[in-house]
A and B are shown apart, each in its own frame.
Chain A
């Protein structure tokens, strides 16, 4: 594979292939964690939402806890990320879209027990029915981008 397939002329800061492989490795760890915690099974997520098993809170809390340490410490200990570029920030704004979108997202999550990460990850464990959820998510993202943004 060559780096020329990255068609981003405006963001050349990091060596493209190293960045992509880092994303692949991080994605694999993420997927492994989702599988260990059974979050790739929509039925397990629905068990939480129906108050039958509170494990999801440990998953979310554990993940956010570890990430907090990295997000707070890395920019202090390192001048820049190991592979170059700069430390990003999660951009979130308090407005009707953020909260209204979250409300709609939650309704969908309550219907199917699938959120974006597990919808992709479940395929690796043979949950091919999740293609239906992926079609739905891609369609929802398209309708949002095409008709609800300028």
Chain B
């Protein structure tokens, strides 16, 4: 385990000598035959930022729970906010009208947090994805997450952390369809 961790810090000296086709599949191959030496190939941009970011996110969901007992999934705000606009009975349930205010504060906090990051450690970002993809993908994300009653945070963090089997199965399902979709789109050459 220690050797595994220490190998994360080293860049792979053999990286340059590979053909583009080999590099394309290298992360997969590394998993199968030489994971001790080539773990760095799985994280071409390093691994520590990801882990630190994940700990911040987990700390945020934990803090919300310890202070208020609330479960900090993100997708419900997209339904609860409709309760301000739509009289439809589904949106007017107490679980949405009773949570819509703190959920908007939670969402505002997200924007505040990335803004603080941008002016301290970071810099302005751009999505790098076309508007059509964002609209169509966003629609399916909103519909699917609400039908499933959870998203990457609701099922992936809160559900997994409370050892809910349905959430774990949901995470496996959405990772599988997302990975499949992204590979199909790449194979079709739709994204430059």
- A interface list, Cβ under 8 A from B: 5-8, 10-11, 14, 16, 19-43, 46, 49-56, 58-71, 74, 78, 80-83, 85-95, 97-117, 119-127, 129-130, 132-146, 148-150
Contact B152 A69 (CB under 8 A): no
Contact B50 A64 (CB under 8 A): no
Contacts known (A40-B114, A58-B51, A144-B79); A30 close to B56, Cβ less than 8 A: yes
Contacts of A65 in B (CB 8 A): 54, 58, 161
Contacts of B131 in A (CB 8 A): 129, 132
Contact A24 B105 (CB under 8 A): yes
Contact B73 A90 (CB under 8 A): yes
Closest 4 CB pairs of A and B: A27-B109, A136-B138, A37-B53, A62-B54
A32 to B42 CA separation, bound complex (whole angstroms): 24
> Is B177's beta carbon under 8 Å from chain A?
yes
> Is B1's beta carbon under 8 Å from chain A?
no
Nearest Cβ distance between residue B173 and chain A, in whole angstroms? 4
Instruction: Give the contacts of B99-146 with A (CB-CB under 8 A).
Output: 99, 101-103, 105-118, 121-122, 124-129, 131, 133-146
Contact B142 A101 (CB under 8 A): no
Contacts of B170 in A (CB 8 A): 92, 98-99, 101-102
Contacts known (A49-B182, A125-B117); A120 close to B177, Cβ less than 8 A: no
Contact B54 A33 (CB under 8 A): yes
**Which of B52, B70, B111, B143 is in CB contact (< 8 Å) with A104?**
B143
Interface centre among B54, B63, B149, B186 (most CB of A within 10 A): B54
A-B Cβ contacts below 8 A, count: 562
Chain B 151-162, CB-CB to A under 8 Å as 1, else 0, gives 111111111111
Contact A60 B157 (CB under 8 A): yes
> Is B4's beta carbon under 8 Å from chain A?
no
Interface centre among B47, B98, B109, B155 (most CB of A within 10 A): B109
Contacts of B155 in A (CB 8 A): 92, 102
A16 to B74 CA separation, bound complex (whole angstroms): 19
Residue ID in chain B nearest A95 by CB atoms: B166
List 10 contacting pairs A-B, 8 Å CB cutoff, sorted by A: A23-B109, A65-B58, A67-B161, A99-B170, A108-B138, A116-B75, A125-B115, A125-B122, A136-B141, A145-B88
Contacts of B117 in A (CB 8 A): 31-32, 35-36, 124-125
**Which of A23, A60, A80, A148 is in CB contact (< 8 Å) with B70?**
A23
Nearest Cβ distance between residue A76 and chain B, in whole angstroms? 12
> Is B181's beta carbon under 8 Å from chain A?
yes
Nearest Cβ distance between residue A27 and chain B, in whole angstroms? 2
Residue ID in chain A nearest B114 by CB atoms: A124
Known: A11-B99, A68-B163, A94-B166. 12 other contacts (CB 8 A): A6-B101, A14-B68, A23-B68, A62-B57, A81-B69, A105-B148, A108-B137, A109-B137, A113-B182, A125-B125, A126-B126, A146-B88
